[in-house]
Each structure stands twice: as C-alpha cells, then as structure tokens.
Amino acid sequence: MQIVEKSGEGLSKVFGVTVPVADLNERLEARITEITPTLNIKGFRPGKVPAAHVRRLHGKALMAEVVQQAINESSQKVLTDNNLRPAGEPDLKPEGDFEKVIEGAADLAYELAIEVMPEFEPTDLTKISLKRPVYEPTDKEVDEALDELAKQNRTYEPRTGKSVKAKKDDQVVIDFIGRIDGVAFEGGTGSDTDLVLGSGSFIPGFEDQLIGAKAGDVVTVKVAFPADYQAAQLAGKDAEFETTVKEVKAPVDAKADDAMAERLGVESLEKLKELLKTNLESQYAGASRFKLKRALLDILDEKHDFPLPPKMVEAEFASIWQQVQQDKDRGGLPPEDAEKTDDQLQGEYRKIAERRVRLGLVLAEIGRTNNVQVTNEEMQNAAVQEARRYGAQAQQIFDMFMKDQNFQAQLRAPIFEDKVVDLIVGQAKVKDQKVSKEELLKEDDMPEGYGA
C-alpha cells in the first residue's frame, strides 16, 4: 500500500492511495478459501468446490468486497498515520479503470480529499467573567398568577335579573343548523353546544352575532368560511346558521381558597401559592440561564479566531438559507430583512453560519478536552420527552430514536452543549446581578453583523 500527500493547503488535504493488484488478488484468494467450506453448489460435495469454480461464480462480487475493505482500511490508515481529525466525510475519487480493478487486473488507486478540524487552544475558562441577571418573583406576581388560575377555572351560572342578554365572555348553550344555498351541509349541525362568546372557537364572526341574544331567541348567523378553511368543500363559501339560544350563562370566577386548591389536586391554598411561586422562579431561572449562555457564547466568539472548515460552513449556511427562503416565500421575513437584497441577506446569514460553526467547534473542543460525556440515561430521558409529543405514537417514535443514529445525534447535541456550558460557567467568574423583570425578559439584539 502506498500513501502520498498530494496537497495540504489550510484545512484541506489530498492524499493519493494505491493498493497493488497483487495485494487485492491475495486478499481475494484468502476470501475464497474462507467461504468455500460454507458453499452448497450443485454437483459438488460440501467443502469440495474447486477455488477456480468459486472464482468464476462469485469472483467479481467477492473482489468488490475486497476492494471496499481495502478502501476502508487504507482511508483509516491515512487518518491514523497523519493524526488527522476529519471535519466531515472525506471525498474519494477513483483513478484509472475501476472495472479492471474489480476484474483483478489493475491496482486500486484513488484520491482522498479530507477537510480536517482546525487546531486551536480554547481560551482559559477561569479568566472568563460573566454577569448573571437574576430576578425574584414578588408576592404581587404570585397573587396575579393565582387570580389568572381562578379565571381559568371559572364556572358559568344562568344569567338572571334585568340583564339576561348574552355578553362577551358569557357562555351560551345553542342548537344550530348550517346551510349553504339553503342546503344543510355535513358537520354543520350541533345541539346543546356550549360556546363562550369571544373565545374564537367558531368561525370568525359567528360569536359576535350572538351577543345581545337571550334564551329562546332564534338567530340567523351569517358567516363566510375562510378561504383556507380545513374542509376544502366549505372554504370561501357563504353560510347561514339557524341558531337557537337555549341558555345564557354568566362567568363566575372561582374563589381562590382551599376548596379551589383541592379541586386542582393541591392540599391547600398556601401550598398552591408555593407551587405558583416555584413555577415563576423556574421561568425566570430559565430566562436568566438563556441570557447567561448568550453572553458566554458572545465572549467565546470574541476570544477565538481560527480557520473554519469550508464544507461545515457551507452546510450550516445552506440550512439557514433554506429557512430564510421558506420565510420569504410565505412573507414571514423580519421587517429589517424584508427590504434587503438576496446578496445582502446571504452576506449576513453567512456570518451567522460562520459564528455557529466556530462556536460549535469551540464547545466541542472544550467538551473533548474535559471528557464531557452524554450518558445513555440522559439520551433515553431526552427520547422519552420528545416521543411524548406524539401522543399515541410515542412508543413507535421512541423506538425510532433509539435505532436511528441521525435522530440520536439531534438529541445528543443540545444535551452535550448544555453540559459544556455548565462546565464553563462552573469554572468562570460569575457574578449575580439583580435586574427588573422587564430587563430579564427583554429580547436582545444579535451582535453587529450577524443579522436578525
């Protein structure tokens, strides 16, 4: 086997590899000898098939196996002997007549183009200084959360007294028959249906026309189905609903007391308040961590400058640009991007791609040198959490995650990143800084030159 480095500019290296035909044929003979005892060929006793006959029947297929094995071994030898860490799958370019190689009449020769990981020394983690924004929920916020919870658990009682007409936020009990051009349509009929006016549960305009109605009224509700309505046979069509109002009920907020707490499965009102406070603390802790991580990534980006593997940048940019194009097609670009040309957008989003690749390499190197590992238990927990989003298909999705390496990589990446971030924060100088809730939850702009 002969290995020659043909070029080595920057992170790109090209090697020429040659495996002599004699070596390939020797491997082929060894492979034939290995499988002959297992062959069952008509006209020959087991284990007594002549090697020449095996070569005639299976020679090309066996040589293809031999060549693939030789490629795998020689490619790995290139990496091992030169102490290379590839940044992606190497590109292999065969040289000469490959058919003759399979026939055992020519050397196996190919070029191996490799893009290698950049060599750099991560910054000293102990010299990183960070400010962690912190905010503690107030008693007033806990009370507001409790009031909102009481509203969510409101009940409805029949409206009585002078004002018996339905108002916004009231609940009406209705029967209805929907017709298009005077003909009732499938799915347009309902009875004893509870509808909260203003909830947006029905077709736009339907609920508004019931405001002011009282029990016993029959209201002809005229609406137009949206053009993008899910039922294609109804999309964009005008309809009338003959609607009988059977009852009007006014909302009654639940009283925030021990009884409400017990209905929610909590032993007391005080315990419910503790849980609400804990929930708020968790939300604010998440926002605090997000800002701390963002500040850390900005610092890591500033402190590292090294060549980036071009193919990694191109792949990241392609992924970003595909999303940008999708947003553009549906009119969802941010206002600051809507007026820019494609050249301007590509320039900005390429910088984002470069930033992501650079930070990914920095975090990966810090994790590697500190032996950060993602455990099987962490992977399984992540897979379970993700699979639960699919309801009845959860077990099927979980099994798929456990078998598919691409899915596993997608699950592993954010776990690994968070563990590396925790490692850095643990070694860095971190000072807590009290901020207002508005400051904590405010969206920050991206650094200059990185787009939206």
Query: What are the residue boundaries of the structural domains of the chain, listed by start?
Result: 2-115, 155-252, 268-441
Predicted confidence band at 447 (pLDDT cuts at 50, 70, 90)? low
The answer to whether 335 and 451 are in contact (CB under 8 A) is no
CATH topology of domain 155-252: Chitinase A; domain 3 (3.10.50)
Q: What is the CA radius of gyration of the chain?
A: 34
Give the model confidence (pLDDT) of 106-134 as tens digits.
Answer: 999 999 999 999 999 999 999 999 999 99
Mean pLDDT is lowest, of 45-54, 139-148, 377-386, for 45-54
- Report how far apart, in Å, the C-alpha atoms of 121 and of each of 131, 353, 354, 420, 427 are: 24, 21, 18, 16, 17
Give the model confidence (pLDDT) of 389-445 as tens digits.
Answer: 888 888 888 888 888 888 888 899 999 999 999 999 999 999 999 999 999 999 876
CATH architecture of 2-115: 2-Layer Sandwich (3.30)
Give the model confidence (pLDDT) of 231-270 as tens digits.
Answer: 888 989 999 999 999 999 999 888 899 999 998 999 999 9
Distance CA 306, CA 308 (A): 6
Given the structure tokens 């810090």, which residue do they identify? Answer: 366
What's CA 64's distance to the chain center, in Å?
39
Distance CA 382, CA 379 (A): 5
- CATH number of this structure's domain 268-441, picked from the four choices 3.20.20.330, 1.10.3120.10, 1.10.357.10, 3.30.43.10: 1.10.3120.10
Give the model confidence (pLDDT) of 283-308 as tens digits.
Answer: 999 999 999 999 999 999 999 999 99
**Helix locations, 304-451, DSSP H:** 310-329, 335-338, 342-369, 376-387, 394-403, 405-427, 437-441
Name beta bridge partners: 178: 241
